[in-house]
C-alpha cells in the first residue's frame, strides 16, 4: 500500500474520463488516499464490473482516505486507488464491500500514480464479481444517457402493451414487419444495448416524432 496525495476524483457508477465530467458533478479534492498495484485482470474487472471486496480489505483501507470539505477534512470510510502499469482507478465501497463509486483520475495524476508505484509488487485483493454492466463501456457519457432513456422508453411501451407503436418502431428500425410483440421489443432493446447506433439514431428521431 502506498498513499497518494492531492488528487481530484468524481465518483459515479461508471468511471468516466475527466473530460466527460460535468459542472454539476460533486468532484472531491482528495488530500490522502491509499493505493494498491494490482494485476491486469483485477484492473479490468474493477473497472468494468461491480465487485465486492473482502472484510479484510475493508479493514485495511478503513478511514485512510481524507478529502477537503468546506475548509475542513472529512474521512471517507472505505476508498482506495487501484493501478497497474497503464492507468489508475479510484473506488469507494459501502460497508458490505460492494463498489458504489468509481472515478478515473486526471491524466497527469494517473500517470504519476503509475510511475511512483511501478516498482511495487502486485497486491492480491480478495473479491467477487457481483454483476456485469449491461451497457457497452465504449459509450461516452452522453451516449450512455441516450441508451438509458431509449431502453426506459421501450420498457414503458412494453409495460403499457402499446403493440401498434412497437410494431411501427420495429419496422422503421429494420425495414421489416414483426407481429410478435415480445420478439419486436426484445430485438430492438438488444440492438440498443449492443450499441447499434443505426438503430439508436433511428429510435431517437422516432421518439421525438411520437412525443409531439
Q: Are residues 192 and 99 in the same domain?
A: no
Cα–Cα distance between 113 and 37 in angstroms, integer? 10
Which residue, 132, 160, 185, sits at the end of a domain?
A: 132
Range of the domain at 9: 2-132
| Residues in CB range of 62: below 8 A, 6 or more apart | 77, 78
Q: Are residues 108 and 168 in the same domain?
A: no
- Whether the pTM exceeds 0.85: the reply is no
Find out whether 103 and 19 touch, Cβ atoms under 8 Å: no
Cα–Cα distance between 114 and 17 in angstroms, integer? 17
Q: Are residues 117 and 147 in the same domain?
A: no
How many domains, in total, are found in the chain?
2
Q: Are residues 147 and 193 in the same domain?
A: yes
User: Over the stretch 135-147, which tens digit does the pLDDT of each residue have?
Assistant: 455 567 777 778 8
Find out whether 34 and 1 touch, Cβ atoms under 8 Å: yes
User: Over the stretch 89-143, which tens digit does the pLDDT of each residue have?
Assistant: 999 999 999 999 999 999 999 999 999 999 999 999 999 999 875 445 556 777 7
Q: Are residues 94 and 70 in the same domain?
A: yes
Amino acid at each position: 500500500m502506498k498513499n497518494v496525495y492531492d488528487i481530484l476524483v468524481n465518483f459515479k457508477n461508471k468511471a468516466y474520463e475527466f473530460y466527460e465530467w460535468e459542472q454539476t458533478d460533486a468532484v472531491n479534492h482528495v488530500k490522502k488516499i491509499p493505493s494498491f498495484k494490482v494485476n491486469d485482470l483485477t484492473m479490468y474487472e474493477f473497472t468494468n464490473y461491480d465487485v465486492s471486496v473482502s472484510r479484510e480489505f475493508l479493514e485495511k483501507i478503513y478511514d485512510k482516505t481524507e478529502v477537503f470539505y468546506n475548509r475542513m477534512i472529512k474521512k471517507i470510510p472505505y476508498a482506495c486507488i487501484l493501478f497497474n502499469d497503464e492507468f489508475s482507478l479510484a473506488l469507494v465501497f459501502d460497508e458490505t464491500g460492494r463498489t458504489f463509486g468509481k472515478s478515473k483520475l486526471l491524466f497527469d495524476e494517473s500517470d504519476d500514480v503509475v510511475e511512483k508505484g511501478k516498482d511495487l509488487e502486485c497486491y492480491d485483493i480478495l473479491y467477487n464479481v457481483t454483476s456485469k454492466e449491461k451497457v457497452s463501456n465504449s459509450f461516452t457519457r452522453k451516449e450512455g444517457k441516450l441508451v438509458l432513456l431509449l431502453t426506459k422508453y421501450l420498457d414503458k411501451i412494453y409495460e403499457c402493451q402499446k403493440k401498434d407503436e412497437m410494431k411501427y418502431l420495429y419496422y422503421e428500425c429494420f425495414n421489416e414487419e414483426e407481429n410478435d410483440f415480445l420478439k419486436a421489443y426484445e430485438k430492438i432493446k438488444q440492438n440498443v444495448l449492443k450499441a447499434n447506433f443505426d438503430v439508436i439514431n433511428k429510435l431517437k428521431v422516432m421518439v421525438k416524432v411520437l412525443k409531439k
